[in-house]
């Protein structure tokens, strides 16, 4: 099992440097961001590809069907629910025909993406888990986004939830942007560049900041973006908040 992370220092820093985010932290309580178990990056990315743009239940069904295509695979993974079938290996994916992979419910695009992932895992483009821990966030993003169907957002989710990288700011994530707009009472979602500039103050704990922004996006007692700016000219709240990124908040 992954080692449980202690976010006490991160919470203290974020609350001291950003009072508005600090109020969300106080309301939500301790950070629940903990690493998910990872056998290797191939399996994590394969699962991410399958789950893209699908309902969780549907994606889980397709994932189980893909695993079932390889009864010769004796690999089993121990989870809290017991031993379950593991993912096929890159070699098994490449040995399977496209038709066989599609029979599990994979779209043409996802089937091609998984085959490309398998090929790049074998040629070393996709590092092993041990190698990944030696690479920087930017190096992993650069290498993994060469895989078909893998974009920056997917790698950032891998960095946060699988590799426990502490300082990832997912500026393209809708939930992060919505949470930011709700916390700072903006008329519209911030642009990624604006969010990146403001988030500089959260270093080196931007992954934890993302987690709290996700929680803020779910809060029913916070106004939706635009609801708090009826008396202000459209966009002014966004510019005002972003402008403050040039200096730390008291």
Where in the sequence numbering do the catalytic residues fall?
173
Q: What is the DSSP string of 28-65?
A: H-S----PPP-S-HHHHHHHHHHHTTS-HHHHHHHHHH
Decide: residue 237, CB within 10 A, 0-12 exposed, 13-18 middle, 19+ buried.
Answer: buried
Are residues 240 and 196 in contact, defined by beta-carbon separation less than 8 angstroms?
Answer: no
> Are residues 228 and 185 in contact, defined by beta-carbon separation less than 8 angstroms?
yes
Closest CA to 176 of 208, 147, 136, 129: 208
CA distance 176 to 27: 17
């Amino acid at each position: 099992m992954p080692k449980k992370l202690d976010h006490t220092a991160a919470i203290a820093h974020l609350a001291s440097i950003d009072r508005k985010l600090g109020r969300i932290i106080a309301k939500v309580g301790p950070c629940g961001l903990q690493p998910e178990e990872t056998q290797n990056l191939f399996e994590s990315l394969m699962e991410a590809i399958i789950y893209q743009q699908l309902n969780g239940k549907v994606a889980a069904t397709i994932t189980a069907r893909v695993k079932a295509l390889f009864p010769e695979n004796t690999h089993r993974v121990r989870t809290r629910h017991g031993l379950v079938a593991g993912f096929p290996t890159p070699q098994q994916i490449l040995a399977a025909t496209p038709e066989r992979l599609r029979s599990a419910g994979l779209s043409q695009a996802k089937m091609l993406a998984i085959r490309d992932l398998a090929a790049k895992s074998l040629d070393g483009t996709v590092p092993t888990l041990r190698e990944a821990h030696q690479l920087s966030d930017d190096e992993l993003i650069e290498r993994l986004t060469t895989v078909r169907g893998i974009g920056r957002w997917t790698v950032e989710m891998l960095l946060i939830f699988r590799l426990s990288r502490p300082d990832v700011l997912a500026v393209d994530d809708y939930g992060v942007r919505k949470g930011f707009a709700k916390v700072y009472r903006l008329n519209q979602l911030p642009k990624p560049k604006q969010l990146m500039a403001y988030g500089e103050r959260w270093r080196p704990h931007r992954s934890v900041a993302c987690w709290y922004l996700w929680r803020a996006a779910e809060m029913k007692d916070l106004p939706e973006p635009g609801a708090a700016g009826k008396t202000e000219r459209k966009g002014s709240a966004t510019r005002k908040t972003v402008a403050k990124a040039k200096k730390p908040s008291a």
